[in-house]
């Protein structure tokens, strides 16, 4: 486990732990406030993210930014990362061995950020973080607490692009997150 961001970033620079290293343009490490109270975890970089080296900068990311604005959250205030840091070819889901190889980096990021809340964006994030027994349809909008961290599973923003009706759920789930943070900070 790396004790500093510098160490962690250096350790990943030349990562060849899985086959995604062969097709990536950039490692998409993560972005945002390194002391954030809220962390967002997506699935893996798409074409835009691979090109630019930053998570959620494509269409799904733009929609997520709009949702943030709607509930008064700033992208710069949260930390955003993915289950895998290199793009799965043709945007397929990350395979189990790829997620497994990458997960230690993400765990290390969680330890360094120390978020109070982690928002799990979609099924891949949910299953890899909380377990294969969780399904996104039943789990979204419901808190799961583990080792002092509160997890909020919700739809992946790309799902909102396919089905507009999911936008309402997404905003509702993010509002639950904002309410918990406000409550928590008023007690502090
Ligand atoms: N989808 C993801 O899951 N992550 C990104 O960074 C972009 C799209």
The answer as to whether 8 is a domain residue is no
Q: Considering only CA atoms, which residue is closest to atom 7 of ligand 1?
A: 56
The answer as to whether 167 is a domain residue is yes
d(CA 67, ligand 1 centre) in Å: 15
The whole-chain average pLDDT of the chain stands at 97
Instruction: Look at the chain and report how many structural domains it folds into.
Output: 1
The answer as to whether 142 is a domain residue is yes
pLDDT for 187:
79
The answer as to whether 101 is a domain residue is yes
The answer as to whether 2 is a domain residue is no
d(CA 4, ligand 1 centre) in Å: 25
The answer as to whether 85 is a domain residue is yes
Predicted TM-score (pTM) of the model is 0.98
pLDDT for 27:
98
Q: Distance (Å, rounded) from C-alpha 55 to C-alpha 157?
A: 12
Give tens-digit pLDDT for 114-160: 999 999 999 999 999 999 999 999 999 999 999 999 999 999 999 99
In CATH, what number is assigned to the domain containing residue 101? 3.40.470.10
The answer as to whether 11 is a domain residue is no
Half-sphere exposure of 80 (CA within 13 A, CB side): 23
pLDDT in tens, the chain (188 residues): 999 999 999 999 999 999 999 999 999 999 999 999 999 999 999 999 999 999 999 999 999 999 999 999 999 999 999 999 999 999 999 999 999 999 999 999 999 999 999 999 999 999 999 999 999 999 999 999 999 999 999 999 999 999 999 999 999 999 999 999 999 998 77
pLDDT for 188:
72
The answer as to whether 164 is a domain residue is yes
d(CA 187, ligand 1 centre) in Å: 34
Structural tokens at position 87 = 């793009």
Instruction: Name the nearest CA neighbour of 127 among 137, 135, 119.
Output: 135
What are the φ and ψ backbone dihedral angles of 35, each rounded to 5 degrees?
-115, 25
Expressed as residue numbers, the domain containing 35 is 18-187
């Amino acid at each position: 486990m790396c004790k500093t961001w510098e160490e962690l970033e250096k350790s990943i620079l030349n990562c060849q732990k899985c086959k995604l290293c062969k097709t990536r343009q950039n490692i998409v490490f993560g972005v945002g406030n390194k002391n954030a109270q809220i962390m967002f975890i997506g699935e893996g970089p798409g074409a835009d993210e691979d090109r630019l080296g930053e998570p959620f900068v494509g269409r799904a990311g733009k929609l997520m930014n709009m949702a943030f604005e709607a509930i008064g959250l700033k992208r710069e205030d949260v930390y955003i990362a993915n289950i895998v840091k290199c793009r799965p070819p043709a945007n397929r889901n990350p395979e189990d061995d790829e997620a497994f190889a990458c997960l230690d980096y993400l765990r290390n990021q969680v330890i360094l950020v120390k978020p109070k809340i982690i928002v799990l964006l979609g099924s891949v994030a949910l299953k890899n973080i909380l377990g294969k027994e969780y399904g996104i349809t039943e789990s979204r909008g419901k808190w799961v607490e583990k080792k002092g961290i509160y997890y909020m599973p919700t739809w992946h923003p790309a799902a909102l692009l396919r089905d507009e009706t999911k936008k309402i759920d997404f905003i509702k789930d993010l509002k639950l997150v904002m309410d918990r943070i406000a409550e928590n900070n008023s007690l502090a």
